[in-house]
Amino acid sequence: MNPLLDTSGLPRFSKIKLSQIESTIDALLDENRQQLKTLLQQLKENQQYSWQSLIEPLAEMDNRLSRAWSPVSHLNSVKNSDELRKAHDACLPKLSEYSTEQMQNEDLYQAYLKLQQSPEFESYTRGQKKTIENALLKFKLNGVALDEKQKAEFKSIKQKLSGLKSKYEQNLLDATEAWMIQIEDKSILGGLPDYALAMAKQAAKNKKMKGWLFTLEMPSYISVMTYADDRELRRDMYTAYSTRASDQGPNKGEYDNSQIMEDILSSRQQMAEIIGFNNYAELSIADKMAETTDEVLGFLNALVEKSLPVAKKEFKELQQFAKDTDGLDDFSAWDVAYYSEKLKQQNYGLSEEELKPYFPADKVINGLFEIVKRLYDINIQQCKGIDVWHPDVQFFEIRDKDNNLLGQFYLDLYAREKKRGGAWMDECIVRKKTADALQIPVAYLTCNLTPPVGKDPALLTHNEVTTLFHEFGHGLHHMLTQVDEYYVAGINGVEWDAVELPSQFMENWCWQKEGLDLISGHYQTGESLPDDLFEKLNKAKNFQSAMMMVRQLEFSLFDFRLHMEFSSKDFQGIQALLDEVRDQVAVIKPPAFNRFQHGFSHIFAGGYEAGYYSYKWAEVLSADAFSKFEQEGIFNRETGKNFLENILQKGGSEKAMDLFKKFMGRAPKVDALLKHSGLAYD
């Protein structure tokens, strides 16, 4: 049987034939179109509009398509190849066309309206009602009310966008892999810790090269920027990284995203205008928690006002430290991480290098599982013999106290070639319940952490530990859902500016003594993180937190204003707007050749367009939610049960604000975020 059509179990990655991908997706799309046509015809004839006669068949069609496409899309991100990329990209416009076609189908729209207007609607579950309400909004945002010419134009733009976003991501992946630096003179590598040298030595050996090899993969890049004494090496690495996929730097023009960004923004603006919005930012927030563009800008600018004065002080201290230490008068962007690490060591006696031995990956993972067991009364066990795409990938299942299977997940931790950068959680299988069966949710959890070197286990930085916790929070949201309705189960139907709440919430346990005791254990002695190191870590928690805050606000304001102002007569260009935002909020002014935007895949290819602010928006929610645990105990079972039942299990079946209020008993406040960030609050 074609493995992409087999929905009897988990994806059979090793059996997928690349030559089958496009024809399989074509066949599924044709089949779904015919089924939809038949379904709507039957409904018109018998006028029996119900959940069972409309939504369940639609969910089954979408589920079948998703189950086929999910492993293909995932493999394209974690095991990229020219042949896979070609097959993947050939399907994108077809999938986009099909999706838009559905959302512009007037007969389908009317069927949903009849459901909402039926006497049975009031007896529907909250999840069923939310499914119908979300769909009706989605119809409008996809132009169901347009005339045929406008519908065709809208569909064409969405297809074009799908290809552009994929090309942007591929350019970034290719550009990241196109640059590397081989060093044979060890004297150039002063300051680099042993693990970084061993990792670079191993990378060189893998390519049959002499000496040490450094790449733009995150573990390699970060180690050089943080520890390398050689300023020229840091500058070279920074230049290559900050100019990826652009018209600048060592590979300038080779994988240039400049025109692609313009085309993406232009297409989004056209989409917004066709369905009656002034700009894409207005369209973006139509289905989010935030109600107006002014509300978003006001929220971000209020945080700027609180954090910028503190950030300026922090940066001035850093510059002075570099001058006092090394007589540095021309402090530059490639000096920030290096001197920040040294200043942190001076102020707190703490180094990431000192922490790493206490965070072997297996210990961190087992500790993470113990934390969620204490919070939510769930058990996580590894399963062997599962078909995976790389030997490093592990597979786990989650069960409740009565041994009922709740969810499963793949864990792909380490950076490697042909794997997209960053960290993410994605859906493999979505929970869906019918009269006949329950489909268990399955997640992909993907990171690019420091891999094992030599005979030692993978040793993680504390920052990498928090990244793992973050993605696992997303995973729990997807896997612990008890919502039976496919379209609002897990993260489906959750407002985008609330989707980061469970992920950022999980990070808090990486800073608590009781949490750290569970996730730390020296890889040689097994000793938990000593009290003196914990004290240092805790004191250093808010080191440069205002600088980090304004950096995220810079990204958020740039993204939101870019999608608001792209078509205005005053718009001077992407770089000009970024420069303007930096003049307003940034304390670190990068060199003119910096092309951050060319690698900002979150907003150009990753679904965060005019929505990057959601990280800060959700951080307010997560910090506020965690304050309840701080008051009642970070492993308080009742508080954990409350969060599980009101946030994690409810998915998108209710509005995020309503669920938050059920958990906290009130609306969110910004106080906790400012307190956690070490910023004064009046």
Task: Give the E-state strand segments of 335-465 in sequence order.
Answer: 378-382, 394-400, 405-414, 424-429, 432-433, 438-439, 442-449
Nearest to 560 by CA among 294, 162, 267: 294
Cα separation, 128 vs 118, whole angstroms: 13
| Main-chain phi, psi angles of 635, to 5 degrees | -120, 25
- Please name the residue ranges forming H helices in 118-147: 126-141
Whether 523 contacts 165, CB under 8 Å? no
Angle, vertex CA 338, rays to CA 337 and CA 342, nearest 5: 110
Kindly tell me the sign of the dihedral angle through the C-alpha atoms of 289, 293, 295, 299. positive
CB atoms within 10 A of CB 167: 18
Cα separation, 138 vs 358, whole angstroms: 48
Question: Collapsing DSSP states into helix, strand and coil, what is residue 141?
Answer: helix
3-state helix, strand, coil in the chain (%, to 5): 60, 5, 30
Q: Which residues of 625-660 are buried (b: 16+ CB within 10 A; e: fewer)?
A: bbbbbeeeebbbeebbebbbbbbbbbbbbbbbeebb
- CA dihedral (168, 171, 173, 174) in degrees, to 10, reads 170
Q: Which residues of 463-481 are buried (b: 16+ CB within 10 A; e: fewer)?
A: ebbbbbbbbbbbbbbbbbb
What DSSP character marks residue 459?
A: B
Whether 311 contacts 546, CB under 8 Å? yes
Nearest to 177 by CA among 185, 188, 166, 169: 169
Q: Which residues 6+ apart lie within 8 Å of 197 measured at CB?
A: 189, 212
Nearest to 71 by CA among 147, 155, 9: 9
What stretch of H or E contains 260?
helix 258-274
Cα separation, 483 vs 499, whole angstroms: 16
Query: What does the radius of gyration of the chain's CA atoms come to, in whole angstroms?
Result: 25
Length of the chain: 682
Question: Collapsing DSSP states into helix, strand and coil, what is residue 446?
Answer: strand
Nearest to 213 by CA among 244, 239, 192: 192
535 tagged catalytic: no
Nearest to 296 by CA among 460, 432, 497: 497
Residue 274 has which token pair? Answer: 């066709």
Cα separation, 411 vs 420, whole angstroms: 15
Whether 507 contacts 468, CB under 8 Å? no
CB atoms within 10 A of CB 362: 12
Query: Do β-strands 442-449 and 424-429 pair in parallel, antiparallel, or remain unpaired?
Result: antiparallel
Please name the amino acid found at residue 163. G
Residue 96 has which token pair? Answer: 């986009």
Cα separation, 389 vs 20, whole angstroms: 17
Question: Looking at 169, 352, 397, 471, which residue is catalytic?
Answer: 471
Active-site residues, by number, are 471
